[in-house]
Amino acid sequence: MAIEIKNNRFHIYNNEMSYVIEISEQDDLLNLYYGARIDAEDIRLPKRGRNIVCNADDNNVMYSLSVLPQEYPSSGASDFRSPAYEIETDKGLHTPELKYKSYEIIEGKPPIKGLPAVYTEDDSEAQTIVITTADEIHGIEVKLYYTVFENQNVICRHSEITNISNQYMYLNNAQSVSLDFPAGDYEYIHLEGAWAREKHIDRNAVHKGTQGFESRRGASGHAENPFLMFFDKGSNEDYGNVYGISLVYSGNHKFTLEQEMYENVRIQAGINQFNFRFKLNKGENFITPEAVMVYSQNGFAKMTNTFHKLYRTRLCRGKWRDKTRPILINNWEATYFDFTKEKLLEIADAASKIGIELFVLDDGWFGKRNNDECSLGDWYENKEKLGGTLRELAEEMNKRGLKFGLWFEPEMISPDSDLYRTHPDWAVSIPNVRPHLSRNQLVLDYTRADVREYIIERLTDVLSGANIEYVKWDMNRNMSDVYSLNLPADRQGEFYHRYILGLYEVLEKITSAFPDILFEGCAGGGGRNDPGMLYYMPQNWASDDTDATERLYIQYGGSMVYPASTVGAHVSAVPNHQTGRISLLSMRGTVAMNGAFGYELDLSKLDKSELGEMKKQIEFYKNNRELVMTGDYYRLLNPFTSRHSAWMYVSEDKSRALVYYVVKDTRPENETVYLKLKGLDENAKYIINGETKSGRTLMNYGIVVDKAERDGDNMIFELEKR
Ligand code: DGJ
């Protein structure tokens, strides 16, 4: 790995990948190449004039910014494509032109102040180049950060924009990344969805004009995950140049693909410009969230495994990062708000008998909360409902050999709460305008230090008052009526970003004050399944949809970027509460075992044979969770295009593998499936179901699946190198 500077070129590379930036004679930073490894000195820009363009150099009519590929394009200064940043001063909008000034190389990867980011544990893992550009007339300096990893095809980018003028300015746009690709046939995938239907694959051809996706919800959202795959047309799991861009951010985001008149494609990702205007006084700066770019020359699977390893080991942090996760029982779908201590202990008794390790008490344990109409913000235990204190309940769980975990929704406030009655101004709303409720609740104004302090104080009090070893951090509404009494009129455009900065500050403080607690993020299911949250909490509840068939889609889409260790997945009751579907218990187990595994149903109502089957699932998971958490992941059959779904994990040394297969929706006399495995050692022999087969046979001929006739038929194959 190296960053090489020669003949006005920066070559950012490792063994498999190159990224080349050129400083033009005019001192512009040009984006020359990004892809498989090349020799940077061999390439050059096309020398070609275009019509109806503006010259950016009076002495060279061929030199036009709207034609050249650029690193961080300006607005209005004759590049007619999307700008990476925009500023406004008291004189109006401005058209700066950033010119190259200097560079600095840093070993390793510096942290980003106040924001989550990928990190290194040792400086030898990565190298960072910071390139400084500026426009002195407009008084703006932009530092562009690029970190390249030695052993993974990863480049992390973000920028730092400083007001170097003598007066204030507004930043109206600040992208994390801008990339210009040459004309070609491209496609892209994004993960779209809705509540209980998150992370569905949407694959499209890149076409002329502007396309993309975004969130304006104040959260990364159920509808669009902050992740883009851009690739050569026709790419698949094993073939094609693939670029993954993942934004380490939990708020409003925007991904834009723009194919312009010469068919070049500009890609940008960053904070959404929607209601964004950030005031910078003289000397102040703005730091964009980090964009993590992964390149694969060999299709989707390689990109996936690069993201998985990076996010599992260099984004997630803390004690639980490298530990397997306890199997949990959550009482939400078992009881909803309607529980007593006796009921909880009945479920706990059944849970401990079948080997479950953690009991999670969900919504309804605090204030006067017996439905979703009140008490958010009143984080005091309801002793009457709990039949005692949380401490006593935790002790009861511990006596049964179970850890105890608790649900919170710390960013919300119910109008019917003591907190709201005391501090109505703490809720996000516009003065004298009726705010729009969602699930009967409003959002707490996390831009305010007093609000953040109150929440930290309440959570600290509860978490230190009982033996709580797990926290589910929920967030069940998106933002409307955005306004803060804390901010002057010309800073209201900072609200969305300041909210997320406030949230990150609270998360940093709480998670470092309680380093032994396992935190799981949640936002009405997968409404904030993003890398930003994973920096603080190593797992995320993937969806409120616990239906096994629906989970095949959700987990397949999410697997593109997020490792199984980060995905909360539970077996729930049938008929399923979200879809009414009845699926086999074995299928529910096979699907849910692909993540941080648990159960979410009233175990005390199940018969012996169901509990017996669950006990076996639990034993199987315990024996295999290490591989699920850390193995290389391969998608074998795509549920979006097939009647079947299959995937597998392979240990790093290729000595073990686990293959999962499910019939998603059958039809009479359906086709026989030959499951062609991936990622094995082709020269090795593996024992599978008592038989010995070679890696090359398993990958080229496959496994013939016999039990594949009825909906939900499923199999798990264990492979061991002989
Ligand atoms: C939404 C979550 O996704 C559910 O799992 C549950 O915790 C409810 N909120 C509780 O209100």
**What does each C-alpha distance from 503 to 126, 213, 451, 476, 510 come to in angstroms?**
29, 24, 11, 15, 11
Q: Which DSSP symbol is given to 557? A: H
Check if 330 has its Cβ closer than 6 Å to any atom of ligand 1: no
pLDDT of 276 above 70:
yes
Are 633 and 599 in contact, with CB atoms under 8 Å apart?
A: no
pLDDT of 1 above 80:
no
pLDDT (0 to 100) of residue 418: 98
Select from 376, 409, 544 the residue to mutate for testing ligand 1; criterion: most ligand atoms less than 8 Å from CB.
544
pLDDT (0 to 100) of residue 721: 97
Active site includes 79? no
Residue-range domains of the chain with CATH: 74-314 (2.70.98.60), 328-422+467-478+515-630 (3.20.20.70), 637-721 (2.60.40.1180)
pLDDT (0 to 100) of residue 632: 98
| Of 17, 21, 69, nearest in space to 258 by CA | 69
Q: Which DSSP symbol is given to 208? A: B
Cα 78 to Cα 65: distance, rounded to the nearest angstrom: 6
pLDDT (0 to 100) of residue 61: 86
- Supply the DSSP string of 272-322, one letter for each residue: --TT--EEE-TT-EEEPPEEEEEEESBHHHHHHHHHHHHHHHHTS-STTTT
Q: Which of 544, 545, 632, 713 is catalytic?
A: 544
| Of 204, 201, 200, 177, nearest in space to 188 by CA | 204
Per cent of the chain over pLDDT 70 is 100
Check if 476 has its Cβ closer than 6 Å to any atom of ligand 1: yes
pLDDT of 374 above 80:
yes
Check if 525 has its Cβ closer than 6 Å to any atom of ligand 1: yes
Q: Which of 28, 135, 363, 474 is catalytic?
A: 474
Check if 407 has its Cβ closer than 6 Å to any atom of ligand 1: yes
Residue 371 C-alpha to ligand 1 middle, in angstroms?
Answer: 12
Atom of ligand 1 nearest to the CA of 522: 3
| Of 526, 557, 384, 410, nearest in space to 473 by CA | 410
Cα 203 to Cα 272: distance, rounded to the nearest angstrom: 22
Residue 364 C-alpha to ligand 1 middle, in angstroms?
Answer: 10
Locate the DSSP E strands across 604-651.
Answer: 632-637, 644-650
When pLDDT is averaged across residues 356-375 and rounded to a whole number, the result is: 98
pLDDT of 48 above 90:
no
3-state secondary structure of 505: helix
Cα 588 to Cα 353: distance, rounded to the nearest angstrom: 20
| Of 280, 276, 248, nearest in space to 111 by CA | 248
- Supply the DSSP string of 564-628, one letter for each residue: GGGEEEEEE-SS-TTT-----HHHHHHHHTSSEEEEES-GGGS-HHHHHHHHHHHHHHHHHHHHH
What is the Cβ-side half-sphere exposure of residue 538, based on CA atoms within 13 angstroms? 26
pLDDT (0 to 100) of residue 94: 83
> Tokens in use for 106?
């840093």
Cα 471 to Cα 463: distance, rounded to the nearest angstrom: 9
Peptide bond into 488 cis (omega under 30): no
Rg (CA), the chain: 26
Check if 545 has its Cβ closer than 6 Å to any atom of ligand 1: no
Are 24 and 33 in contact, with CB atoms under 8 Å apart?
A: no
> Tokens in use for 343?
């009921």
**What does each C-alpha distance from 28 to 12, 44, 69, 87, 634 come to in angstroms?**
18, 15, 10, 19, 42
Residue 621 C-alpha to ligand 1 middle, in angstroms?
Answer: 24
Name the residue with tokens 């501090």: 423
Kindly report the pTM of this predicted structure.
0.98
Active site includes 474? yes
Q: Which residues contact 39 (CB under 8 A, 6 or more apart)?
A: none
Chain segment 593-650, per-residue pLDDT in tens: 999 999 999 999 999 999 999 999 999 999 999 999 999 999 999 999 999 999 999 9
Select from 372, 407, 570 the residue to mutate for testing ligand 1; criterion: most ligand atoms less than 8 Å from CB.
407
Q: What average pLDDT is seen over the chain?
A: 97
Check if 541 has its Cβ closer than 6 Å to any atom of ligand 1: yes
Chain segment 195-231, per-residue pLDDT in tens: 999 999 999 999 999 999 999 999 999 999 999 999 9
Check if 141 has its Cβ closer than 6 Å to any atom of ligand 1: no
pLDDT of 443 above 90:
yes
